Amino acid sequence: MKKNFILILGFSVILTVSMSFIPGDNQDYKKKEVPKEFVEKENPYKGDESLKMIGLRNFNRHCVSCHGKKGKGDGVMAKNMKVSPGDLTLPEMDQYTDGEIYYLSFIGIENRPDFLKLIPSEEDKWAVVNFVRTLND
């Protein structure tokens, strides 16, 4: 009897430990490092509804090819890319400040067009940030 009990106990421990190594839904999302100055960067256009269309238009023009229309990471270019554009609809996106989204959208990712040149206006850039924020609503 006692032997069986120890056997079952041992088995449950092994099962529990091995399960914690199997990533569940989105448990494997790793937050990206962003320089401090951007973490704290203020969004002067926060909640500005009038920028909605500008955000959408710029996202469609500059981002959809990789990120897909809804931000799922399924744009036409995504298939042939070594690093997946990720999924902008994840709830985990909420852990970023607007400044961090700004950095990740225009600066912090390699092998993308130079968005600081392509989207020179600050208003347009924040419009895109506001739009990206709506993707995981």
Binding site for ligand HEC (CB under 6 A): 32, 62-63, 65-67, 77, 81, 83, 85-86, 88, 101, 104-105, 109, 112, 115, 128, 132
* Gap between the Cα atoms of 93 and 120, Å rounded: 24
Tokens of 105: 């959208």
- Smallest distance, ligand HEC to C-beta of residue 33, A: 10
Cβ proximity to ligand HEC: between 56 and 109 the closer is 109
- Six token digits for residue 36: 């401090």
Quickly count: other Cβ atoms within 10 Å of residue 92's Cβ. 15
Dihedral sign computed on CA atoms, order 78, 134, 59, 111: negative
Q: Which CB atom, from 17 or from 110, has the smaller least distance to ligand HEC?
A: 110
In the complex, the smallest distance separating the C-beta of residue 92 from ligand HEC, rounded to whole angstroms, is 7
> Hey, how many other C-beta atoms are within 10 angstroms of the C-beta on 71?
23
Cβ distance to ligand HEC smaller for residue 51 or 104: 104
